[in-house]
A and B are shown apart, each in its own frame.
Chain A
Amino acid sequence: MNRIQQKLSENKKLLSIYFTAGYPKLGDTVEILQQLEKNGVDIVEIGLPFSDPLADGPTIQESSQTALKNGMTTDLLFEQLKDIRKKVSIPLILMGYFNPVLQFGVENFCGKCAEVGIDGLILPDLPLAEYEENYAAIFKKYGLINIFLITPQTSEERIQQIDSASEGFIYMVSSASVTGSATGFGNEQNDYFQRIALMKLKNPLVVGFGINNAETFQQATKHTSGAIIGSAFIKMLSEKGLDGISTFIKTIR
């Protein structure tokens, strides 16, 4: 069983954190991961920065630009993560856009992930059909779980397709928006969370986009298995640095 699947089988509401590798400082990656684990975070998404992050709002755009300016590269990230499995044991997911992965070579990239102990990937602009046709076998060979997104506009038929292609969890985008833009959840989101939960999919649901405090975390996880915080965490890092991590996590749950 993959570490992600194992974590999902624990009967709890999972807290997942996204951060951009190389931000605020180039060498912060390992320290952030250790602090997140120490403070009880269940899963971490490590963002591989990209010059043109289409699905991201200003906060993650800026953190990506800063990370690239700091000198972050795919090679360097793998180098930083070389001994990570001696230091943290929670599931780790790499999240990024497809182009840097394509340039690295998909097989080479997956091989490196397996080598350092990455458990899964989220590549929002790698579509389901392309993945299944060209890359699923490679992901499988290296024991990597690919995580797909759904949104309030995704049809039930497509959700079923995504469910059957998924082996970890389904990343439920909370509302029609880029990252970091929602301000609280209303009836629309609650109905959507409930509607999808009632579909009784084989994969657990984890909600992302727009979760920034204890209230939105609770709303998001009422009908689902967990929630992911990204922009709010990065905003905190930009204001308080790594010293703020412990307090931030405690305010969420």
Chain B
Amino acid sequence: MNYNVNEKGYYGEFGGAYIPEMLYPNVEELRQNYLKIMIEESFQKEFHQLLKDYVGRPTPLYFAKRLSEKYNTKIYLKREDLCHTGAHKINNTIGQILMAKRLGKTRIIAETGAGQHGVATATVCALMGLECIVFMGEIDIERQAPNVARMKMLGAKVVPAKSGSKTLKDATNEAIRDWINNPVDTHYIIGSVVGPHPYPDMIARFQSVISEEIKKQLNEKEGRENPDFVVACVGGGSNAAGAFYHYLDKPEVGIIAVEAAGKGIDSGESAATSALGKVGIIHGSKTLLMQTADGQITEPYSISAGLDYPGVGPMHANLFTSGRGEFISITDDEAMIAGLNLCKLEGIIPAIESSHALAIFKNRKFKKDDIIVVNLSGRGDKDLDTYIKYFNL
């Protein structure tokens, strides 16, 4: 079975481009050109040069000795937290800004939840001298003041999304509306492997540098390219898509996707889309999403702002329903404890998103000689307030 996108833009039954006609010319332009542009030698050269010199890649693959001892298995951490701007998000924004330039676009829009993708977008726009507008839910603007300030310092305009629930899904709606209103000069940099085809595939390809590096680095350290398991947290799913990408068609590598259970799957305050979602359409993609029986999209909850998206990328929906991926959900409490645990054992303060991936070891047992790579998608600086409040630090 193939777990990548097919020529029609679907992963199994998921994906496609369910967009109003107003967006068709832009999305179609991108669909027709993205692969052509990505394989151009000049594109590859510029992309990899920037990843190396600007982002700081390759990021280390670090053997977490004390963590491994605690759980009696071999755990490697892929240190995406060491990327410039503090998370894997910039791999995608570098790729997309180069794409936008080659498509002749001069104005960049983006959505952001916690602000990480907004900061990564504002950063590359500053780098390239392009106008940048970031849509952010009004509630998130209040919750994430430092990231709002960072975006402003980087020259971006932050526009509050005041519609609906005033969070990530509404910021995405507002960005899409802006694109409808500005169909000629604007490129929309989506931050996760969501949205209409070709976005999920394009973004997965930009993020696939993560698993490309893991293969090489693991080979150096262990004499084999394939770990027994690769683990990543999933909100929309971009860091997971990047970490899984080169292992999708390798059945000997177990794929573990970790979702946010919030206060518990049955608590009514959760973001565990695979457990709670049904097939539907969100932001132009057919996927699993949390919704009412009547098809109204519901608001998810997680202590981690990067995981509270009511849908999941179509690649992951397919990994779930096909059984290729093992999906585990982790509560707020489990994630916070796992995050603090990593600080104490390894001297690394993880983003709360990544803490979800680290939390699986408490209940999911592995063999002593299993090699497990956990994608440490981001660093915890942005989450200090949450850590402080949670642990009364």
> Interface on A for B, CB 8 Å cutoff?
50-58, 61, 65, 68, 73-75, 97-104, 124-127, 130, 148-151, 153-155, 158, 173, 176-178, 181
Contacts and interface: CB of A to CB of B under 8 A. Distances in A.
A55 B22 contact: yes
Q: Which of B18, B20, B163, B298 has the most CB of A within 10 A?
A: B20
Interface string B4-46: 0000000000001111111011000000000000000000000
Contacts of B181: 176-178, 181
A176 B182 contact: yes
B164 A51 contact: yes
Contact of A102 (B176, B182, B281): B281
A130 B16 contact: yes
Nearest to A181: B181
11 contacts: A54-B176, A58-B163, A99-B291, A99-B295, A100-B294, A103-B280, A125-B18, A173-B21, A176-B22, A176-B182, A178-B181
A90 to B, nearest CB: 26
A53 B284 CA distance: 11
Between A50, A102, A173, the greatest number of chain B beta carbons within 10 A of the residue's beta carbon is seen for A102
B388 interface: no
Nearest to A171: B21
A238 to B, nearest CB: 16
Contacts of B298: 51
A198 to B, nearest CB: 20
Given A57-B177, A61-B163, A127 B18 contact: yes
B183 A55 contact: no
B176 to A, nearest CB: 5
Q: Select the residue from B18, B177, B181, B295 with max chain A CB neighbours within 10 A.
A: B295
A102 B295 contact: yes
Nearest to A175: B181
B180 interface: yes
B25 A74 contact: no
A38 B25 CA distance: 40
Please give me the 8 A-B residue pairs with the lowest Cβ-Cβ distance, nearest first: A103-B295, A100-B295, A124-B20, A149-B21, A51-B296, A153-B25, A55-B20, A99-B281
B346 to A, nearest CB: 40
B293 interface: yes
Given A99-B282, A125-B281, A173-B22, A52 B297 contact: yes
A149 B297 contact: no
B20 A130 contact: no
B137 to A, nearest CB: 13
A51 B284 contact: no
Contact of A125 (B183, B284, B294): B284
Contact of A52 (B180, B183, B282, B294): B282
Contacts of A177: 180-181
Interface of A is mostly: loop
Interface string B98-124: 000000000000000000000000000
- The residue among B169, B176, B177 with the most chain A CB atoms within 10 A of its own CB is B177
A100 B295 CA distance: 4
B24 A154 contact: yes
Given A58-B163, A176-B182, A100 B296 contact: yes
Contacts of B68: none
Contacts of B294: 73-75, 100, 103-104
Contacts of A151: 21-22, 25, 183
B22 A148 contact: no
A176 B278 CA distance: 33
B173 interface: yes
Contact of B296 (A50, A130, A158, A176): A50
B282 A158 contact: no
Nearest to B19: A125
Contact of A98 (B18, B22, B297): B18
Nearest to B27: A127
Nearest to A62: B163
A101 B163 contact: no
A180 B280 CA distance: 27
A151 B294 CA distance: 30
A51 to B, nearest CB: 4
Q: Count chain A CB atoms within 10 A of each CB in B18, B170, B283 and give the residue with the most.
A: B18
A153 B25 CA distance: 7
A214 B174 CA distance: 30
A68 B183 CA distance: 30
Chain B CB within 10 A, most for which of A73, A127, A181:
A127
Given A173-B21, A176-B182, A102 B280 contact: yes
A74 B292 CA distance: 12
A99 B297 contact: yes
B173 A54 contact: yes
A153 B184 CA distance: 9
Contacts of A153: 22, 24-25, 183-184
Contacts of A181: 181
Given A52-B173, A55-B180, A99-B282, A154 B295 contact: no
Contacts of B183: 151, 153, 176
A37 B44 CA distance: 61
A125 B20 contact: yes
A65 B297 CA distance: 12
Contacts of A154: 21, 24-25
A97 B169 CA distance: 16
Nearest to B181: A177
Nearest to A162: B21
Contacts of A125: 18-20, 281, 284
Contacts of B170: 52
A149 B295 contact: no
Contacts of B284: 54, 125
A173 B21 CA distance: 9
A158 B23 CA distance: 13
Given A125-B284, A153-B25, A176-B182, A52 B18 contact: no
